[in-house]
Structure 1
């Protein structure tokens, strides 16, 4: 998954991964991270998610990282926000009240360490050979004692090409081997789910609390 792949997806509006509303799993499980208003929250590969708005109602600093300038500009336009934009080259910072979005490559963006991370669409966007590198970068951005609310998918990878990719339980535990990993929920889809209708024999969303 190189940068051009994601730029093309946004340019062509092929964004089936985007949820138009706040993710119910975020609403249900955010309390598990024991969040405090003054804690800095990171949302990697945030797209134009409404989850940022929900989090900003509860935290003073919500930071997104997103590769696509189309996604970042759409987020502010659709929410009628006028951000302050700074930066040069391929990296820009968009700021509006509690929300800051770094538009650039996740692997090269540098930010101050955060307290809490919400990852719904980042780890599962990574092919298998990039996940270790993704997690190492993520953990470098989290303070000691920080927490990560992680949402993953579990389905037979040979039945459907990603992204989003399947990241099963054993892999989550291996990737975060030096952290405390707690499984919060598994939601198995029935036959009416769009992914099941595309031929998957099973499909589940899973939620994890990772304590650094």
Structure 2
């Protein structure tokens, strides 16, 4: 290889490196519990309340923010990422939203208290089918859920579809709309607990 060719290759590599270093870092987004009022229609519970199982589709578990651009096509926005896996964030924020709505502490399964045969815990199972934004900034959450008493039979499953419109396509606004649909799920789930009793 001639010196001229080698020099040109080195210059090209240096320019590519400079361009790569100028690329902005991806924005980090978080789910947040929403300010919610205690539901007055719910009776006080003495038993523990636990977010026990939350299942997410694999396509939702990836860190880049995703949007559905066609019925069978998704786009992952590498310029914006969830700061933590949604498999960790969603159950925790759901527990926080439920704590506000129920006016009591709701724990995660890994922090679950010892079993109490006299007053079995209420366990929440959630199967998230869809959680995504569309190209216009509308966020959709579709889920099935069920409340169970620890050590007792399964209760009927409920289903809901929740939507929130982001004020823009800015990733922070899209993340807020994700938090809002999760709060709507929490309201429906809390109402389902009253029926399950």
TM-score computed with the length of structure 1 as normaliser: 0.23
| Bigger Rg, structure 1 or 2 | 2
The TM-score, its normalising length taken from structure 2, stands at 0.24
